[in-house]
Structure 1
Amino acid sequence: MTNTLNGTVALVTGASSGIGAATARALAARGASVALVARRKDRLDELAADIRADGGTALAIEADITDPAQARSAVEQAVASLGRLDTLVNNAGVMLLGPIEDAPVEEWDRMVAINVQGLLYTTHAALPHLLAAASAGPRDSADVVNVSSVAGRVARSGWGVYNLTKHGVGAFSESLRQEVAGRHVRVTLIEPGAVATELASHIRPEIRAAAQRAFSDLELLTAEDVAETIAFAVTRPARVVINEILLRPDTAA
């Protein structure tokens, strides 16, 4: 495989499992040094060891990005240890579905904190480094990749606050794109449909069963499918800006 990200550094949030872990592997395979950010340090250490065993460079950073100080520290640790920052993948997220009526509002707080505030804090901390890399880097560009969802396009009953967070990610991504486009920082919104990850395991059991039935006739996307899509977007020549990719399982509504 051609190492099209040689000399660059990527930071991936939510890297301890699923799409985040798969994305870290995909970017490392293409030559990027990868900072792995999540709360589960044991999983990060295991992933970092695997990447190193395959000849890559990886740094495990334990952080809760819903805390602005920890998000900022994670970015600074990555830059201090790996030398720069060219790619930010905002992947950390949680999906807690259920009716708005009588909902446990702590679930709402958790989704807003991780899906929105964590993404904002990490982007804010990373942006100066991304702008610097875009103006003096091996690729003449830098990338912000925000992992959203089909739920950022289509609202469904029982998905209200999750829909709200993912629509917000889309709006923020477009505004950021307009702000930094002239300075060679590319902003890409990735909107997967149903993916076979542990995301659904966080849903309350009675809600989870209904969600699983809704997708029971589909062959779900894999984390690797989404990771390869992200890798495709960030390895385009500097002249190519991919603003948005929607990917769904075959026959998905």
Structure 2
Amino acid sequence: MTTKQKTVLVTGASSGIGAAIAARLAGAGHHVVAGARRTDRLHALAERTGDNLHPVQLDVTDPVSVTAFVEAAHRRTGRVDVLVNNAGVMPLSRLDSLLLDEWNSMIDVNVRGLLHGIASALPYFTAQGSGHFVTIASVGAHEVVPTSAVYSGTKYAAWAITEGLRQECDPSIRVTTISPGVVTSELADSITEPGAAQAMRTYRAHAIAPDAIAAAVSFAIEQPDAVDVNEIVVRPTRQR
């Protein structure tokens, strides 16, 4: 149990990294508001985790939905202490595959979804004089490989937006970017291009568990208020 309970919002919490973050933080005693489109999975997660986790339907591509998500959390506890912008998609493909709908989906979720979260939570953080943004980016923000051009572009945008936020925010608001390497999750299931799907199966041979990323989030948010952990990169030991 933590000595200071926080109200933590987690987007994309129905599976993978988001579910692991929500479960770990709820288990540590924080009040977690878990958002995702698949509410059946959120309710199952709440049943496994206990009373500290509250499921809320959320579509990060819809700014009205994101505003309602943050408002729901504030109504429950009177505070919003941490927003973990985790929701993301990764339908990798070569540019010459011309999968425009998939590219736009990545931009909508990975970039606009992040901006919607910032726009919804920042007024609360400013009013209460404290808060913590945590962005789940990717090592794709730091490197580009064949098939990752658009995905890496969205994750670099997420990194850049979050770094800009850190510099612009009042010092009372902390900002952290966490960039996972290869992690066991459903992200690769959305890849429709056969070549990219095969490459990802090979690439993910040494994936680490989502809880490794959840542990990094926990470390960042549980530092003293005067400590701002700005960036963490977490890779499998075999990933270079």
Kept in 2: contact 1:5–1:27 (CA 8 A):
no
1:205 to partner: Cα distance: 5.6
Q: Which residue of 2 aligns with 1:202?
A: 190
Match of residue 27, structure 1, among 22, 25, 28: 25
Equivalence map 1:152-231=2 (5 Å): 152-182=141-171, 184-204=172-192, 206=194, 207-216=196-205, 218=206, 220-231=207-218
Kept in 2: contact 1:3–1:29 (CA 8 A):
no
Kept in 2: contact 1:4–1:235 (CA 8 A):
no
Identical columns (%): 39
Report how many aligned residue pairs link the two structures. 239
- TM-score, normalisation: structure 1: 0.91
Q: Which residue of 2 aligns with 1:48?
A: 46
Aligned residue for 2:152, secondary structure, equals helix
Q: Which amino acid in 1 is paired with 2:224? A: P
- What is the alpha-carbon distance in structure 1 between the residues aligned to residue 127 and residue 31 of structure 2? 17
- What is the alpha-carbon distance in structure 2 between the residues aligned to residue 215 and residue 59 of structure 1? 32
Kept in 2: contact 1:98–1:158 (CA 8 A):
yes
Equivalence map 1:84-163=2 (5 Å): 84-133=79-128, 135=129, 141-163=130-152
CA deviation string 1:86-139 (max 9, x = no partner): 000000000011100132100011000000101110111011112334x3xxxx
- What is the alpha-carbon distance in structure 1 between the residues aligned to residue 185 and residue 204 of structure 2? 13
Superposition misfits of 4+ residues, deviation over 4 angstroms: none
1:208 to partner: Cα distance: 1.1
- TM-score, normalisation: structure 2: 0.95
Q: Which residue of 2 aligns with 1:251?
A: 238
Match of residue 67, structure 1, among 57, 62, 77: 62
1:181 to partner: Cα distance: 4.2
- What is the alpha-carbon distance in structure 1 between the residues aligned to residue 72 and residue 15 of structure 2? 21
Q: Which amino acid in 2 is paired with 1:198? A: E
Kept in 2: contact 1:5–1:30 (CA 8 A):
no
Q: Which residue of 2 aligns with 1:239?
A: 226
Note the residue ranges of structure 1 that are not aligned, 5 or more in a row: 136-140
- What is the alpha-carbon distance in structure 2 between the residues aligned to residue 203 and residue 76 of structure 1? 34
Aligned residue for 1:204, secondary structure, equals coil
CA deviation string 1:139-164 (max 9, x = no partner): xx421000000000011121110011
Q: Which amino acid in 1 is paired with 2:177? A: L
Aligned residue for 2:223, secondary structure, equals coil
- What is the alpha-carbon distance in structure 2 between the residues aligned to residue 27 and residue 5 of structure 1? 12
Kept in 1: contact 2:27–2:52 (CA 8 A):
no
